[in-house]
Each structure stands twice: as C-alpha cells, then as structure tokens.
Structure 1
Amino acid sequence: MAVQENDWVARLADEVIDDVVRRRGSLEGYTITCASGLSPSGPIHLGNLREVMVPHLVADEITRRGIPCEHIISWDDYDRYRKVPFGVDGVDASWSAHIGKPLTSVPAPPGSAYDSWAAHFRAAMEASLAQLGVKYRGISQTQMYTSGAYRESVLHAMACRNDIDAVLGQYRTKVEPPAATSSSRSPELQDQAAVEAAEGSGAAGEDDGSAEGAEYFPFRPYSRAFGTDATRVTAYDPETTTVTYVATGPDGDQVVETMRLDTDTHGKLVWKVDWPMRWAFEGVDFEPSGVDHQSPGSSWVVGKDLAPIFGAQRPVGPMYAFVGIAGMAKMSSSKGGVPTPADALAIMEPHVLRWLYARRKPNQSFTVAFNNEIHRLYDEWDALERKIAGGKGQPADNAIHARSVRTATADLPRTAVTVPYKALCSVVDITGGNVEQIGRILTSIDASITDLDVARPRLDLATTWLETQADPEDRTVVRSTPDTATLAGLSEHQRQALAMLAADLDANWSLDGLTSLVYGIPKRQAGFDVTEKKLPPEVKADQRAFFALLYQLLLGTDTGPRIPTLLLCVGAQRVRALIGA
C-alpha cells in the first residue's frame, strides 16, 4: 500500500503486515500482535508512554484496515524491586528492605488503595491509558510465572542453557555491567553519555544470568528464606527439574535452597532470555524499544539470536528516542519527580497528548511542555484543526489529526467550543477564577459560549496549568488605581491614541473587534486604512509602543496577556478609568 512519506504509522503498519505475510504466506485466520512492556517500579512517566503509544498507533492503523490485531501490554510486575525511587509520598529509606523482591511483593506506598507497589503504579497508568483511548490486553508477569503458564518455556530454556550461553558469549566483553542490574523491560534511562559508554559492554547493564567461571543458568529464583533474587544457582538436575541455589540475606548470611521447576514457581528467567521467550509465547509481531535496549550487546540485539531457540523470530521493532519536558533532561522513573501521563492529562486534553506522540517518528525525540511553551503547543494544535476543517490539510496532516482525535473504534471526548489556551489562562488569571466574570468574558470572545460547560475540559485544564505550573512572576495583576505619573507625561500622540481607544471600545467589544481596534489605531494615526497589512517600520514600531503603553497603564509592566484578551478581562469601564479617558 502506498503511503505518505511522513506517515510513519502507516509505513510501520505496512512493514508489520508484509513481515507477517512473508512468514505465514497470508493473513487469513491470523491476528497480528503488537506488544508493549511496562515495569511498575515507580511512577510510569511520559517517556515510558512512548513504549505504549508507538504499538498502539500501529495496532490501531492495522485495525482501521480491517485486519485483526491485538495490542498487549506486559506488566513486568515480577521484576525485582531495584531501588527506592525519589519523590514518592510517604516512601523513605526503610523501603530499601524490600530491594530484590518481586514488585508485587513490595508494600504499596502509604495510603494507597492497592495491595502492592506494582498494583499501585499500574493502576495510575491504566487510568491514563483509558483517558487516551488506548485499548489493550494486560498481562501480569507475576500471574504468568506463578500460575505456571511459562513452565514449559522455563524448562526448555534450562534444557537449552548451553545454546543460550553460547549466543550470549558472542556479545559479552570484559567490561563489567553496573552492580545493580535489572531484568526490567524499562530499566533506568541513562544519560546519553552513559548509553554510549555502555555500547559494546555487553548489555547496557541488562541481566543475562552469566556467572564468571561457573556453569550458566538462565533462571533466577526468589528465595524462600529472604524473598529476594539475591540468589545464585549452583546445580540443575534435568531428570527431577530440581534447581539448587545459594540465597544471600540482607546481613550477608547464606542458605542453600532447592526448588523443582515442574511444580515450583518462585523465580523467573533472566531478562535477556525472558524477552525472546515471550515473543514466542505471545506470538509478537511488532514491539519497539528504547535506545538502552538496542545498543550493541543489549537485549534487542541478542534477542535476534535467542528467539529461534524458542521457535520464534525477533519481531519488527523500531528504536524510539527519549521524551523530555520542555528543556529538562530526559526522564527516568527511578530518579523520581518526573511527570507522568496523569500529570500531562491534568493540563492538556487527551487528543493533544496523543498528537505529540503521533506527529513525531519514533526515532525523533520531542518534549512535552509544562511551562509557557504549552501555549505555543496549543496554538499549533488549533492551527492544525483550522487547516483540517478548511480542507487544506495535507494527507499526512489529515492522518495525524485523525489518529489524535479518534481510534479505530471511538472518538475521544473533546471541548465543544475551543478558545485559545493562552486566552483561557489569561481570563482565569485576571479574573481570579471568578466564574461569573469568566462567563462574561468568554461570551465576548465567542458568542456561542452561553454555558461554561461547552468550554470544558479545556477551561478546567488551563485553570489547573495556571494554578500548578505558571511562574508566579508571570501572573497578571491589574492596577487598582491609575498610573498618574505615566498619564501626566503622555505625548499628544499618545493621548490621541488612548482617546481613540476609549471612544471605540463599546462598538468593538469582542475579541476580534478589539484586535482590529488596537492594531488599527496606530494605522489610522499614520493615515493608513485599518485593513492595510503592508506597513512601514515606523508604524509597526508605533504599534509596539502603543501596546507597551497599555501594559504600563493597565498592569504596571512592560508585557502581559494579549491586549485584546486583557481589555475584555478588565472591562470597558475600568479600562477607561485606568487610561485616563
């Protein structure tokens, strides 16, 4: 199928479909599987969301074409608790006593309604995915391992451990991985320099179960004595499936334990083996991964050679780049304090957040704006909406917009009457959140707003942004009394401009009307028609000077909200009083 060059979703969908047809001969009777993996080891941040949105968008595109497709999310809740994340309310250093336990065996943060650490953070992400319209089948790795669903796969891996070790040996080097390794699909995102330094080190810190000078075993038990994975397998009897291992406690004391893989389930395959095993078990056709998983020697690279051991092949899987926050360093859930999808959805509509992930190719990094950049972001979105509504969108624009506002099965809820996000922030700011004044002003901006509900949720989201994200120094405070000193020093040209403004306020009392008025006054003073667009530099300079004067008289500052919005918020009577008219 021919697709637009800029439509990365359609191109990846084509690639997945072509790959399935190549392997199977046809799509008949087959359901394509797109996969994501999330580790609920702490707050699941906006960088992790890309792990979900790339497969979601591809799966949704395949579904739109009428081809059966399923999106699965593996919750890696049987991973070890690696470290105590910073910034989780009520969680302190005492939680370090749980390091090494499965995430589902770690207590939830204080006050949580959930029974485990994993369930607590999984629930928060699930709520956000529901808002974003992401449909998926969730798979708990704790449930899969402890139910015995993977038993035959584990036994197969142990039987093929020498073959697995031989594959891994091709990628190992003498560089030691970090001490605190993780079997997580979403390990701590490293600084770019650290990622580059890890290239060739044999895994970017991922666990492959190797033990220097000892027999290789791709399985790691959780001990009965201590409940952690601080264990080292020393022997395996394939006849009885008995694993013998040494478990080390927090004080360094050791015990020897055994478990039978044909009946016991307190353990899991090491990550580099676990991932290709799941590709085979779930029949995964598409799964992207981050930079840290695709460096030389890492799980994605090694998985290509390990997947055939389980009767599968590595799925189609592009690398996705990091997500930042308006100039912040790329995010790491283990460092704490980084925004989550819920944080973003508190200040922006779901379709706008979807758009951020849909408009950029997976290998392109981007930022999610929590500062003043959100105003520009929303302006870009509104411009796209106008382009689409006017039939001027390019095919790629139309595709990105469609994927943002609806899925293959449903439209996302949206604000009925949209007012520019920055204007809403200004209105709420200047009025102090007074509902009656907000209603009056919004009706002046758009006559169709007869009830504030039609301006929601965008109005509520802008209010939340103003209250939680806006720089206090940027808040708007209207003068309570006229600036007599400035008024006394006005030039005749300035007095004339203010008089023209006062005289024509009532006749132009709408956002469009006031926009034409304030931009038109310097034009009229210079002898130009108010519709003239080609202005000499001196008239443009006079416009800027006029706006600066209004900011000084109304706010006592050099800048502020857009002048037309400011005038609407202040009110005609008060404007006249403050400009001395």
Structure 2
Amino acid sequence: MAETTPETADWVSRLADDVIAEAERRAPGKPVLCASGISPSGPIHLGNMREIMVPHFVADEIRRRGIDCVHLLSWDDYDRFRRVPAGIDPAWGEHIGKPLTAVPAPPGSPYASWAEHFKAPLMAAMEEMGIEVHAISQTAQYTSGVYRDRILFAMRERRRIDAVLGRYRTKKQDGEAPEDETERAELEGSGAAGEDDGSSGSAGYYPYKPYCTACGRDFTTITAYDDETTEMAYVCECGHAETVKLSEFNSGKLVWKVDWPMRWAYEGVVFEPSGVDHHSPGSSWVVGGQLVSEIFGGKQPIGPMYAFVGISGMAKMSSSRGGVPVAADALQIMEAPLLRWLYARRRPNQSFKIAFDVEIQRTYDEWDALARKVAAGQAQPTDAAAYGRAVSTAAGPLPATPRPLPFRMLASVVDVTTGDEAQTLRILSEVDPDRPVRSLDETRPRLDKATRWVETQVPAEQRTRVRTEPDAELLASLGEEERAGLRLLVEGLGEHWSLDGLTALVYGVPKMRAGLAMDAKPTPELKAAQRAFFALLYRLLVGGDTGPRLPTLLLAVGEERVRRLLTP
C-alpha cells in the first residue's frame, strides 16, 4: 500500500488514509464502501457533482493502492415530487407527492419517468469522465422489500427516534418558507428542503410515510399502528383510507432524517461527504449521526463537508430552477480531464467557480501550463497529484487530444472560419510549419469543444467578421508612419508565416519603427505604439478595435488576403 507523507499528500490521499484506517477498524478484510446520494428531482447541476466527485476521487485512490473499494451511488428516486419547475406545464402539479419514478418525464423526453429523464445525462457524463459506481435505485430497494425489517424496526422504535429528533427540533417547522433566497437556494440545491423528520399527531409519531395506493401520492397520515400485527391504518387527502400489514406493504418509505442513517447502517458506509446545508444544527447529517448509533447500531460515515460550486456570471446554483448547467453541458466545452481537474485541485470545503464565459480560455491556459510543468517534472507535488487524478483513474488513462493546441486559438480559428473544416485545417497546418497538423482528428476532441463554445457561448454580435474588401477610405487616410508600419508587416509575412513568427512580427514592427531591436524590452512609449498598431490592424481586418489574438487572426485570414486588406 502506498504511503503518503505531509509533503506529498493531497487532500485525496489524506482522506484515503483516514478511510482505509477506519474501514479496518469497522470491518477488517471487507471492501471499503464510499457512498454518494443523488435525488433526480431536476437537473443534477455542477454543484451536485461534488457529491459524486469527492467519493470518486477517494475511492479511486483506494483502488490505486490495490484495495477493494466500492463507490455506491444511491439514486434517491423514491423521493416525492415536490414542485413543478419553471418551464414545465403547470398540469404536472397533479403529480406532486408521487415518487419521482412515478412522475411522467417532461414533455418530449424519450424516458419513461421524471427520475430517468434526469438520471440519464449524469450517467452519460460519468461514463465520459471515467467515474465507476455501483448504482442502486431506492425505488427498487423499497418496493422490493429490501428494507422491510429496518422499517418495522424503526416503527417499533418510533418513540426513541422521536426523542432523538426532539433534541434538535427548532421553532422553524417543516415546510416553513426559508428566510431569504440564499437560504432557499442552499436548501433546494441539496435536497435539504425535504428534510422531513416524520409526523406527530393524535396517533403519535411515525417515521414512515405511505404512498397512497389509490392516488399514488404521499398526502397521507398514519392513524394507527400495531407493533405485534404490523397493521397500519392511514388516510389520504384524496379520501382514500385503508388498513394494511406493514410487513407486506411496499408502498412507502422512511422519512429522510431516518432513512439516511438507516442506510448507513444497512450498507456499512465508511465514507460519504455532504453539503454545507446538511451540517446546520438539527439537519439530517447531525441528527443522523445520533440515530445511526443510538437506534440502528451502526456508525456515521466519515466525510468532509463540501462547499458550493458556482458558474461564472451566475448566482449559486439550485437544481430546482431552470437553466442551470449540468455536467453534460460542461463536457460540451471542456475535455473530461479538465472538468475532473477543477474538482480535484480544490479541497472539498473550498468553493470555486466553473467558467462558461470567456474565462474558459484562461482555464484551458492554466491546464495546459500545468501539463507542461508535469511533463518537465517541475510541478508542485499537490498540483502534480491533482493532474494525475484528472487524466487517469485506477482503470487507466482517459482519452486525450493528441495535439492539444491552445483552446483560445482554436476558438478564434473556428470563429473566423465559421467552422469550415477545410479552412480550419489549412490554418492549423500553418501554426507550426515544422510540425504541421495533417488531420483535424489530431486536434479532437478539443477542437470540437472549442467549436461548441463558440456556437453556444459567443453572442452573434461578438463573432468575428473578416472584411471581404479593403477599407479604402481608412487606408487612404493613413499617415506615413502608419503606412510604413503596414509595409513592414506585409513584407515580413512570408518569412514569419507561423504562429510564433507572426507573434514576433506584429510585436516587432513598432519596435523596428522606433529603431529598436526585435528583442528590445518594452517601454511605456513602445507599449502605447504597439496598442495603436494593433488597433489599426483590427480596424483594417475586422472593422473593430479588438478581436482574436492577431497572430491567430492573421493565420486564419490567410497570407494573400491579409496582403490585400492591409495594402494601401
């Protein structure tokens, strides 16, 4: 087993050390069980992904050490449908209170249920990201009777459970509106809005909620229960009432605050993280820790509290609101290792943002710079560890782009060529004449990610439009200094026609006009001259003061067309 030291251990290694040691104390020789729980009540956004990524990295590290480890993904698809999201036909309100697997999928969906509709994109994203899980459906677990003995036990111990919960109950009752929008977003983002702890009425407290066998919803109240016979009487708001034997009845579930600790004990979970909202006084994590030990005879998993994930230009994400990006959206513009890296490089309790706007270019630049440092053996140990976790798993390396050209350059080329593959290949083949790109396949999937980013994230008014004809009026108005600069540039195109060569040329022309060497260090005056020269080039090439990086733009436009547009 690999040994970690404070100098080399990243957060994943340290957690793996703790989990392995705890697993040996609890159940020596048995597979280590790490767990995630996801409710497919809506889009499973990039904040929810931390519920998947943290156990994934820890489980994968344990597997890398040659230890048997299972990452259990529990689909909480037997949860109730709580509200109709924005953009969905209000008629779906008739399904509120039903299990998510019993609610029809949104209109136009090919899936059989609401739950399956929202599961599918995450499962596809996990496959692309190399995330291996053992997935179970809570609908299947409950309706097949897997938890029957645990349910009957909880009902027998309902008074003790009620006493534990009573220690933490506050004035804010279940269903009371959150105090502000931030609190609402935090609750909805994690499912904590549904932290029901059961109902206390004239018949007493019950930690179980039946789904009505007539209407399928959970607007039910237990009116009587017999511990000996397990006969349970309930009434529903729809008017239906019946008495059933709970020992034979499979249409219902334990309330969440009881369900979670029951499953910890049943599954033997050693590691499971949870969101910050679950750690407030009286929340499911805090109460669950008491219930699992005092009632179910198990132990609470170890696991960090994880912080929220945001999106550039957007407020904190909430899965119940429409339009929030999910992993599948991110993977349209990010290579899978890059998206993995964003989660691997930050400790779980550190919040961070994922860029969908122009900042994605900076993210790719950072990623590429790290790759170069790792290849040269110059990366810090923790940075190298995060990179290694991003590009591979215990099962092997993830697919990678053979020629990972800079994302910002690819985006500029796609922008200028409007995706024309022949033109794109022509430009990319000229980036490095000593090592030309001979097929666009060498640049995929990164090229496809850049194409998708331009298509979906760059507004039409910001797209680059190269002039079809020279700006005769502007060319005629130029002074001798500007004309001389353009002549130097045009005369040097042939000799400098590569990305590096054109970079040197466009920065070098103002230096030459000032009588300086091409490698002269910039002065404030020189920087001002360069900015003015660049602005002139942009006006002559694209009719604006800014645009894609000039060397890339020149390559994209092509040598002959550049000569025509810049020659007075």
Pick the TM interval, shorter chain. Answer: over 0.9
Amino acid of the residue matched to residue 192 of structure 1? T
User: Where in structure 2 are the equivalents of 1:301-340 lying within 5 Å?
Assistant: 301-308=286-293, 309-340=295-326
User: Where in structure 2 are the equivalents of 1:381-392 lying within 5 Å?
Assistant: 381-392=367-378
**Tell me, what secondary structure is at the counterpart of 2:262?**
helix
Residue in 2 that maps onto 1:258: 243
1:508, distance to aligned residue in structure 2 (A): 0.9
Asked if structure 1 preserves the Cα contact closer than 8 Å seen for 2:33 and 2:71, the reply is yes
1:299, distance to aligned residue in structure 2 (A): 0.1
Amino acid of the residue matched to residue 248 of structure 2? T
Residue in 1 that maps onto 2:469: 481
Q: Deviations over 1:479-537 (max 9, x none)?
A: 122222322232322222111110010111111111111111122222322223x3221
Residue in 2 that maps onto 1:18: 21
User: Where in structure 2 are the equivalents of 1:178-577 lying within 5 Å?
Assistant: 178-179=175-176, 191-194=181-184, 206-211=195-200, 214-249=203-238, 254-308=239-293, 309-446=295-432, 447-532=435-520, 534-577=521-564
1:119 aligns with 2:116: yes
Amino acid of the residue matched to residue 361 of structure 2? H
**Equivalent position to 1:98, from 92, 95, 106:** 95
Could you tell me how far apart the structure 2 residues matched to 1:189 and 1:155 are? 37
Could you tell me how far apart the structure 2 residues matched to 1:214 and 1:327 are? 51
Q: Deviations over 1:233-276 (max 9, x none)?
A: 12110111111111112xxxx33222222111100000000000
Could you tell me how far apart the structure 2 residues matched to 1:438 and 1:427 are? 6
Equivalent residues, number = 559
User: Where in structure 2 are the equivalents of 1:161-172 lying within 5 Å?
Assistant: 161-172=158-169
| 240-249 or 519-528, which deviates more | 519-528
Could you tell me how far apart the structure 2 residues matched to 1:491 and 1:189 are? 65
Could you tell me how far apart the structure 2 residues matched to 1:464 and 1:332 are? 24
Change (3 A) 1:212 1:5: farther
**Tell me, what secondary structure is at the counterpart of 1:379?**
helix
| 363-372 or 262-271, which deviates more | 363-372
Amino acid of the residue matched to residue 279 of structure 1? W
1:580, distance to aligned residue in structure 2 (A): 1.6
Could you tell me how far apart the structure 2 residues matched to 1:564 and 1:197 are? 48
Could you tell me how far apart the structure 1 residues matched to 2:280 and 2:20 are? 26
Could you tell me how far apart the structure 1 residues matched to 2:229 and 2:549 are? 77
Q: Deviations over 1:407-462 (max 9, x none)?
A: 11121111110111111111111112111110000111143410111111111111
Asked if structure 2 preserves the Cα contact closer than 8 Å seen for 1:204 and 1:292, the reply is no
Residue in 2 that maps onto 1:579: 566
Amino acid of the residue matched to residue 523 of structure 2? P
Give the root-mean-square deviation of aligned CA atoms. 2.0
1:86 aligns with 2:86: yes
Could you tell me how far apart the structure 1 residues matched to 2:10 and 2:545 are? 43
Could you tell me how far apart the structure 2 residues matched to 1:53 and 1:390 are? 28
Amino acid of the residue matched to residue 277 of structure 1? M
Could you tell me how far apart the structure 1 residues matched to 2:83 and 2:180 are? 15
Asked if structure 2 preserves the Cα contact closer than 8 Å seen for 1:189 and 1:332, the reply is no
Asked if structure 2 preserves the Cα contact closer than 8 Å seen for 1:324 and 1:366, the reply is yes
Q: Deviations over 1:127-177 (max 9, x none)?
A: 111011000000100010011110111111111111111100000022223
1:476, distance to aligned residue in structure 2 (A): 0.2
Could you tell me how far apart the structure 2 residues matched to 1:265 and 1:190 are? 38
Could you tell me how far apart the structure 1 residues matched to 2:193 and 2:415 are? 47
1:116, distance to aligned residue in structure 2 (A): 1.5
Could you tell me how far apart the structure 1 residues matched to 2:555 and 2:186 are? 54
Could you tell me how far apart the structure 1 residues matched to 2:513 and 2:56 are? 57
TM-score under structure 2 normalisation?
0.95
Residue in 2 that maps onto 1:152: 149
**Tell me, what secondary structure is at the counterpart of 1:464?**
helix
User: Where does structure 2 lack aligned partners over 5 or more consecutive residues?
Assistant: none
Could you tell me how far apart the structure 1 residues matched to 2:213 and 2:487 are? 85
Moved over 6 A (4+): 195-198
1:317, distance to aligned residue in structure 2 (A): 1.8
**Tell me, what secondary structure is at the counterpart of 1:575?**
helix
User: Where does structure 1 lack aligned partners over 5 or more consecutive residues?
Assistant: 181-187
| 38-47 or 165-174, which deviates more | 38-47
Change (3 A) 1:473 1:196: closer
Change (3 A) 1:221 1:191: same
**Equivalent position to 2:105, from 101, 105, 108:** 108
1:72 aligns with 2:72: yes
Could you tell me how far apart the structure 2 residues matched to 1:165 and 1:246 are? 21
Q: Deviations over 1:301-351 (max 9, x none)?
A: 101100111111111121111111102111111112111111111111111
Could you tell me how far apart the structure 2 residues matched to 1:411 and 1:196 are? 35
1:194, distance to aligned residue in structure 2 (A): 4.9
1:61 aligns with 2:61: yes
| 204-213 or 369-378, which deviates more | 204-213
Residue in 1 that maps onto 2:36: 36
TM-score under structure 1 normalisation?
0.93
Asked if structure 1 preserves the Cα contact closer than 8 Å seen for 2:273 and 2:302, the reply is yes
Asked if structure 2 preserves the Cα contact closer than 8 Å seen for 1:223 and 1:257, the reply is no
Could you tell me how far apart the structure 2 residues matched to 1:212 and 1:520 are? 82
Amino acid of the residue matched to residue 122 of structure 1? K
Could you tell me how far apart the structure 1 residues matched to 2:491 and 2:179 are? 60
Asked if structure 1 preserves the Cα contact closer than 8 Å seen for 2:186 and 2:318, the reply is no
